[in-house]
Every structure is written in C-alpha cells, then in structure tokens.
Amino acid sequence: MKKNAVINYFFELPNFLALFIAAFYVSLISPILIEISNSLGSTVENVILLISYHMVGALFGSILSPFLNRKLKRINIFIIFYIALLPCLIILSFASNIIVFFITYFFAGFIFGIIWIQANTNMIESTLENKDSVVNTGHGFYAIGAIISPIVSSNFVKSGIDWRYLYYFVIFFIIINIILFITLRRKIDNISPIHKTVSLKIVFTNKKTNLYLFLTVIILFFYATAEAIVVIWSPTFFRILKHFDVQSAGLMLTILWIGVLSGRLLVGFLSYKIKTGYMLVILALLSIISLIFLVYSDIKFINYLAILFAGFGFSGIIPLLLSSASSFFPKGKEIIMTILFLMPSAGYMSAPHLTRYISQRSMFFSIAITIFFMGIVLVLVTIRMCYRRKALKKMNQDYTNHFYKYRKREV
C-alpha cells in the first residue's frame, strides 16, 4: 500500500478530530464575551482572561505530556484524559461564578495541552511520507472546528438559549473521538512500544539545528500572540468600535477560519511544489496587508474580505513551522513538540492580558498591534530561511567530507 494512500489519512482521523475539538472548545466564547460577562456578573475584560487561564493550564499539560509516554501507551493517554475532561465540561455547564470558571478552564486547558501534544506527535510520526501534508490536514480540522464554533455560539445567544448548553456539544465530540481512538488507532498504537527515556544531549546534539529550533519558537510566540488577539478579541472589537451585531461579529470569526481552512488545503498541496521558507514569507506578507485593511477600513465588505485573507495568511504558518523544525530531530519527538508548543501557548496566554491592558487605553490599538507582531514574524521567517539554507549547506558539506574520509580509510 502506498504510504500516501487515502486509507492512511483515514487512520489519522482521531488525531485530526482531537484538534477539531480543541478549536471548537476554545472558540466557543469569543463571539459572546459580552453575554457571558453579563451572566457571570463580571466585565468583558475579565471574561477574556478565561482564555489565559486555559492556556496556562495547556502550558503545564504540554510540559507533562512527554513524560506520560514513558509510562503509558499513547492511546491510553487519550482515553484517560478525555474521560477526565468530561467532569470539567459538566461543571462549566452549571457554574455561575467567574472564579469557578477560571479554575475549571485551567484544569480543562491542562488536559487539552496533554492531548494536543499527543495528537500532533502522532501526526509527525505518521507513516505518511509528506509530513507537511499530514500536519496541514490536521490543522485544517482545527480550522473547521473554529469555523463551526462561533456560528453555533452566536446563534445560540440570538435564539435565547442558555450559552452554557454549548459545552454539551464538546462532550458529544469527545465521546465520538474516544470511540474512534479505540476502533481506528488501537492496533497502530499497540504496535508502538512505550517510549524509552531519550537523553536531552542526544536530542540537542547539533548546535546548528538547536539555533534553528530557537528561531522557530520565537516566531511561534509572535505569530500566536497576533493570532490569539484576532481570534479572541476581534468579535468584541467589531461589536464595540464598529457597532456590529452579535451574528455579524460571529460571522467575522467564521470567515477568518474559512480563510485558514482554505489556505491550509492549498498549502498542503503547494508543500509538494514550493519550499517552506518561501511559503512562510508569502503568508506573513499576506497577513500584514490584510490586517492593515481590517483595522483601518470602516467598510463592512472590506472588513469581511480583509479577515478572509488574514485567515488565508495565517493558515500555513504554524503547520509549516512545526513540520520543518521537527524534521531536524529524528529522536525525542515528544520533547521537540512540547518545546515548539510552549511559545504558542505563551502567546495565547499573554494575548488576553495584553488586549485587556491596551483596550482600556485604546480599542483601536488593541487590534492594530497585530500588524506589528506579524511584521516581526516576517523578518524572523526571512532570517530563518536564510539560516536554514546556509546551515543545511554546511551540514551537507560536513557529511560529505566525513564520508570521503571514512572511505579513504577503508581503501
């Protein structure tokens, strides 16, 4: 069977759905922050911190995740922690205190952090040959979850249904994915042994690849901060500053993720044709131009068009960074994936605090700052591309010299 056959992608479906669920859960509250704040007797600026608590938990979960592989098979990790997530969602469907929400979002984030690393590591270690395509497909499912979520939550609020019932959708998807992991992934994951401890010295033996990894995580931080601000705050920004109604604001988020999804589908195809570095530069440029129109235009149609292309620009940045950086590290994939996701988690964790601080002084600059962050991303991906070309050339020369010396000794 060909390693890129459709059936191989089918066996990755539980991993794809894990990313879908994560996006659906996180994106539920973005269009309805005002309604949640009214219901909990708090302010919008405080409610947005729920995402920050979620990301703090996800950060700790991501750090713990590689250590779990030393004791448990990956399929058991998924099942155990999905079951542990169910009580958190039930609590959220009944709670009416902001403190309870903060605590529960932290613990739910912790569990999602563990599951996120496991699912992404599964995709990186997939038997499929084109890892860029696998990761892009998985993160395409993330985009689908983020597209559907604001539509569901905004229509719930408009219909007068209690927004707390939204968490039962997440419970339903989790139950489906537990069944999929048991039926589709059990044979695959049972073949794989429990991961043995890999020395950090072995993982990080090459200084050139270590610097390449460092550049990657810095880019991920600035990109994730910009993405988080747009995803979490843009619906509220448009409702307050540009007077959108709740459905129109939710539609902005949906259009953003439609752009992300369509972009990831195209990037998955183009990954066979165009080098990763060039694609990252193009995507960063497109994001900057789109964000400028999004922030400065007061025409509704232009806003919709701008956020669509912003999503298109955002689409491939994380998947391409992940797949290209992890390819340099054949051992300790869980450790590498954890490091790669620490900075995006930190970006998502800091974005609500940054947004809260700036919005109290200028609502306009609370979104406009994303242009500055994406400018930094553009500069860094260009530096990273040039460094990769130089470092790879030097590594290939060193390998060739070593090979000829070895052959000469044999003769």
Q: What is the rounded average pLDDT of the residues 185-197?
A: 54
Hey, which of 114-128, 323-337, 392-406 has the most confident mean pLDDT?
Answer: 114-128
In tens, the pLDDT along 284-297 reads: 999 999 999 988 88
Q: Which pTM was predicted?
A: 0.70
* The predicted structure's pLDDT at residue 406: 36
Distance CA 219, CA 322 (A): 11
Residue predicted with more confidence, 2 or 76: 76
Percent of the chain topping pLDDT 70: 83
Does the pLDDT of residue 298 top 90, yes or no? no
Residue predicted with more confidence, 331 or 83: 83
Tracing tokens 């084109």 back to the chain, one arrives at: 130
Q: Tally the C-alpha atoms within 13 A of residue 260's C-alpha that lie toward its C-beta.
A: 28
Does the pLDDT of residue 334 top 70, yes or no? no
Q: What is the rounded average pLDDT of the residues 232-242?
A: 79
In tens, the pLDDT along 347-357 reads: 888 887 888 78
If pLDDT is split at 50, 70 and 90, which confidence band does 272 have? low
Return the closest-CA partner of residue 345 out of 106, 15, 98. Answer: 106
Residue predicted with more confidence, 399 or 330: 330
* The predicted structure's pLDDT at residue 3: 53
Q: What is the rounded average pLDDT of the residues 113-141?
A: 79
Does the pLDDT of residue 390 top 80, yes or no? no
Q: Which residues contact 188 (CB under 8 A, 6 or more apart)?
A: 11
Which residue segments constitute the domains of the chain, with CATH numbers given? Answer: 14-410 (1.20.1250.20)
Q: What is the rounded average pLDDT of the residues 171-190?
A: 81
* The predicted structure's pLDDT at residue 83: 95
- Check: CB of residue 184 under 8 Å from CB of residue 62: no
Region of poorest pLDDT, from 18-27, 100-109, 135-144: 135-144
- Check: CB of residue 181 under 8 Å from CB of residue 79: yes
* The predicted structure's pLDDT at residue 407: 40
In tens, the pLDDT along 356-380 reads: 788 778 777 888 899 999 999 999 9
Does the pLDDT of residue 193 top 70, yes or no? no
In tens, the pLDDT along 100-124 reads: 999 999 999 999 999 988 888 888 7
In tens, the pLDDT along 167-177 reads: 999 999 999 99
Residue predicted with more confidence, 52 or 226: 226
Q: What is the rounded average pLDDT of the residues 233-253?
A: 79
If pLDDT is split at 50, 70 and 90, which confidence band does 330 have? low
The C-alpha R_g of the chain, in whole angstroms, comes to 22
* The predicted structure's pLDDT at residue 337: 73
Distance CA 43, CA 337 (A): 36
In tens, the pLDDT along 45-70 reads: 788 888 888 988 988 988 888 788 77
* The predicted structure's pLDDT at residue 405: 46
Percent of the chain topping pLDDT 90: 22
* The predicted structure's pLDDT at residue 185: 66
Q: What is the rounded average pLDDT of the residues 306-327?
A: 83
* The predicted structure's pLDDT at residue 243: 79
Q: What is the rounded average pLDDT of the residues 152-163?
A: 85
In tens, the pLDDT along 208-224 reads: 777 888 888 899 999 98
Distance CA 28, CA 201 (A): 42
- Check: CB of residue 277 under 8 Å from CB of residue 385: yes
